Amino acid sequence: MPRALITGITGQDGLYLSELLLAKGYEVHGVIRGQNNPKRELVQQVVPDVVLHNGDLTDLSSLLRAMAVADPDEVYNLGAVSFVAYSWENARVTTEVTGNGVLNALEAVRLHSGRDLGRIRFYQASSSEMFGKVQEVPQRETTLLWPRSPYGVAKVYGHYMTINYRESYGMHASSGILFNHESPRRGPEFVTRKVSMGVAAISLGLQESLTMGNLDAQRDWGFAGDYVEGMWRMLQQPEGGDYVLSTGETHSIRELLDVAFARVGIDDWSGLVEQDPRFMRPAEVDLLVGDASKAREVLGWEPKVGFRELVEMMVDSDVARLRDGLAR
Ligand code: GDP
């Protein structure tokens, strides 16, 4: 039975990846942070077979302890302070976790591997936010990185550190440059989930309006369930590498609102959405749109769920969840 260790187990991707690996017959271990972590119960409910280890990306010895017990064949580093807007206010902690945390994870793998440095396969969750002020459209693995937030800068550090461990030690280390990927499990601070939750609440008469930031921003949004399959495929290759995962399509926040409101029968949402500078960012990334040709050709990967289907899935899930709550 192959064994995997996942950091960021409580997040959207951690849960989808755990489900995927368990279905493939893996023994799955997860590193969970903090005393009384409020998400522990969620993980135990959704994926009860995952073995949890207390640990923190900023604490190398805790990672080494988890490695010693799990003795994994594959390590997926999904843990991060992952919200771009928050990273401006908490640049230092973002740097420690999202940046230096990658070095700790790589060190834990290197030290646990002993002499056989290719024994454990490593996945780093890199991000399209590394492209920031984009130098090329669409963006691919070779596009010059120009991050535009403390989060993006920290991810660039982790990306190059992963490449360096591959080149310096011959480790099987891969970096997945994932464009935005969403699902009903997405955190409510991200724009897609904020919209799906708000639209669901408005449709049920529980909320009057939605307060948003920049409606002209555009993103390349895919479904998280499709993207974790790409992560796994990267680690099944004979050698580590860097891969963009994206849909190649871009949509604006306005289009997101169009599709979400239409799903609950509202065609004109102009009176229901306000804009507030509180949700604007000090700097925006430009036109983020990915070219996933390499993943398609080498990994045979492609996204299955399209933009409309994704948004409708999220709105439906939030409507059902709120209805459930009202019925109780
Ligand atoms: P990101 O790509 O990781 O920053 O993902 P987000 O979902 O947080 O943001 C995507 C885009 O939506 C950004 O360009 C934001 O400026 C824009 N946006 C507009 N209104 C909002 C809002 O109310 N909340 C969030 N999170 N983003 C918003």
Write down the domain spans for the chain: 3-181+222-245, 188-219+250-287+306-327
Task: List the one residue out of 219, 220, 79 whose CA is nearest residue 154.
Answer: 79
Per-residue pLDDT tens digits for 71-130: 999 999 999 999 998 999 999 999 999 999 999 999 999 999 999 999 999 999 999 999
Q: What is the Cβ-side half-sphere exposure of residue 89, based on CA atoms within 13 angstroms?
A: 7
Element (H or E) spanning 29, and its range? Answer: strand 27-32
Supply the Cα-derived Rg of the chain in whole angstroms.
20
CA distance 170 to 282: 39
CA of 238 to the centre of ligand 1 (A): 37
3-state class percentages of the chain: helix first, strand second, coil last, to nearest 5: 45, 15, 40
Is there a contact between 130 and 288 (Cβ–Cβ < 8 Å)? no
Domains 3-181+222-245 and 188-219+250-287+306-327 share a fold: no
Q: What is the DSSP letter of 304?
A: -
CA of 190 to the centre of ligand 1 (A): 6
Three-class HEC string of 56-94: CCCCHHHHHHHHHHHCCCEEEECCCCCCHHHHHHCHHHH
Model pLDDT, residue 287: 85
The answer to whether residue 129 is catalytic is yes
The residue whose CA is least distant from atom 27 of ligand 1 is 191
Task: List the one residue out of 204, 179, 178, 185 whose CA is nearest residue 314.
Answer: 185
One-letter identity of residue 148: R
Per-residue pLDDT tens digits for 244-271: 999 999 999 999 999 999 999 999 999 9
- Which ligand 1 atom sits closest to the C-alpha of 84? 4
What sign for the dihedral angle of Cα 80, 84, 86, 88? positive
- Which ligand 1 atom sits closest to the C-alpha of 213? 20
Model pLDDT, residue 34: 85
The answer to whether residue 127 is catalytic is yes
CATH 3.90.25.10 fits 188-219+250-287+306-327, yes or no: yes
Q: What is the DSSP letter of 114?
A: T
Residues lower than pLDDT 70 in the chain: none
Name the token pair of 208: 């009057």
- Which ligand 1 atom sits closest to the C-alpha of 192? 7
Name the token pair of 296: 């398609």
Task: List ligand 1's pocket residues with C-beta within 6 A.
Answer: 84-85, 129, 180, 189-191, 194, 212-214, 217, 219, 253, 279, 281, 284
Rounded to 10°, the helix 101-113/60-70 angle is: 40
What CATH architecture is 3-181+222-245?
Answer: 3-Layer(aba) Sandwich (3.40)
